[in-house]
Amino acid sequence: MSTGLIGLFMVIVLGINLFVMGSAKSQIYGTDRLGQLPDSYQKENIPVLVLGAGIIDNAHPSKILELRLQACQMLYASYPDKKLIMTGDHRESNYNEVGVMKNYLLGQGVPSEQIYLDHAGYSTYDSLYRLKYVFHQDQAIIVTQKYHLSRALMLARSLGIDAIGVAADENPSTRKEREIREVLARVKDFSVAYLGFQPDRPTNNYDFSLSKNGDLTNNKDSLEKN
């Protein structure tokens, strides 16, 4: 690849990243601003969606996921009637990301019946697609780190979800590595949101209703398969 083409590619990548980050800036709130969320998002029927980020020994959240769960617990403390959706990877029995997420929140005093498990949130796109088309939610509060929120909010917008984000604290030890990976992830999902690229369609399996008890979602095999 010639120097000119490399330079053009870098300009395009930079431009897309600046656009994605800038387009979501007004939708992102820190945990110190939970009392300032727009009134429409403070309502009981607007769920909180926590994006998964890896677990250790199928028992403990990774540090970055723990920080997301801490932000979720703070949201619960401010809005104790909200439904909380944990979304992550549970393809294999020995890797139950969402189960670990729920157990952590139970240890923080969050009621079990208010925590719902999306066992097939294998990617950011999958989680948001399923929120819209499997769980039929048109509005949500998304919890993840700030570097990730801009992409998640862009995808939510493209899927017709009215969303804001609450930014969890960062993990300094892995922040640089994650932010570097996010540069290309933003380009990929920009192509989904604006250029018509069609990723593999997420599964519609493991459906549930937020009108029922969250404990009914604990067992993946008991949920509806389409």
pTM of this prediction? 0.94
Q: How far apart are CA 191 and CA 52, in angstroms?
A: 23
Q: Domain residue spans in the chain?
A: 3-222
pLDDT at 226 > cutoff 60:
no
Q: How confident is the model at residue 1 (pLDDT cuts 50, 70, 90)?
A: low
Alpha-helix runs per DSSP H in the chain: 3-24, 39-42, 63-78, 97-107, 124-133, 146-158, 172-194
Summarised one tens digit per residue, pLDDT across range 7-61 is: 788 899 999 999 999 999 999 999 999 999 999 999 999 999 999 999 999 999 9
Q: How far apart are CA 118 and CA 214, in angstroms?
A: 11
Tokens at residue 218, please?
Answer: 């604990």
Longest CA span, the chain = 58
Class of domain 3-222: alpha beta
Q: What's the pLDDT at 169?
A: 95
Summarised one tens digit per residue, pLDDT across range 129-185 is: 999 999 999 999 999 999 999 999 999 999 999 999 999 999 887 777 888 899 999
